[in-house]
Amino acid sequence: MATFAEFLHSLLIWGEVALLERPILTDAGRAESLQLLRQVGERHLDSLPGPRLELACETALSVAEWFADLCWWIVASESPQSQAWNRGVPVPHTPAEHFAGDWILRFCGMPERRLRFRPIDDPVRTGLDAMLRAWPFSGVRFPIDAPPTTPLDFGGHLGMQWQYAQRLRDQPRPGWLPTDPDFRERIELAFAQVNRPMPGALDRPDDAPPSAPLETGTATGDAPSHR
């Protein structure tokens, strides 16, 4: 029987997991798992520009428990109840928590691709979507059109905002654009660096007049109708 710490080690070091049974975090394995997360977290923090964040290892461990369940429900013959699955989604409240969750959620690529072929109301698929929308620093990596469900500012942390801008550039969606003007400028800069167009929601400046509505007949090139 593999321990939760062994599951976590395989995920964080090798980027893959193999399951014969559901990984369960026990009191005995908690300290070992937290130590591994501290080591991984320190490396990630070293690469993050801006003010140094605290290590939110407890948050990362909570997300890791959720991720272990996700992996298990993908391969298990049974399915979780949708309401219970969605109630289990932890929610970040600080920049450090957003960042710590990303240590785990960066590995959602394979689960997301596998779940893409399931019905849209599949409880595991909807659970993953809910998680990624609640954790937009990570969710921005994935093709989810529905907007984030938590504030999109990361406490004003410049390094996280810049990394988010680069991720959004690679997976552009209007619904994932921030409303804060300074943050939006960083998004625009990230797109400009690679000569890519902005997602539709920012094509028109805020102070630009709205486009005139189409009159009858203009969609086909006919003269507008005046009555």
Domain ranges of the chain: 1-150, 156-202
Q: Check: CB of residue 88 under 8 Å from CB of residue 82.
A: no
- Other beta carbons within 10 angstroms of residue 1's beta carbon come to 7
pLDDT higher than threshold 80 for residue 209:
no
Write the DSSP string, 136-185.
Answer: HHHHTTS---SPPSS-SSGGG-HHHHHHHHHHHHHS--GGG----HHHHH
Q: What is the pLDDT of residues 88-110, one digit of tens each?
A: 667 999 999 999 999 999 999 99
Q: What is the pLDDT of residue 30?
A: 95
Q: What is the pLDDT of residue 88?
A: 63
Write the DSSP string, 72-102.
Answer: HHHHSSS---HHHHHHT-----SHHHHHHHH
What average pLDDT is seen over the chain?
84
Closest CA to 87 of 68, 112, 66: 66
Regarding predicted confidence, which is higher, 139 or 199? Answer: 139
- Other beta carbons within 10 angstroms of residue 154's beta carbon come to 25
Q: What is the pLDDT of residues 138-158, one digit of tens each?
A: 999 999 999 999 999 999 999
Q: What is the pTM of this model?
A: 0.83
Q: What is the pLDDT of residues 7-53, one digit of tens each?
A: 999 999 999 998 888 899 999 899 999 999 999 999 999 999 999 99
Q: What is the pLDDT of residue 198?
A: 84
Q: In the predicted model, what is the mean pLDDT of residues 187-216?
A: 62
Report the alpha-carbon distance of residue 87 to residue 104 in Å, rounded: 19
**Token duo for residue 24:** 């369960």
Q: What is the pLDDT of residues 62-91, one digit of tens each?
A: 999 999 999 998 888 666 665 455 556 679
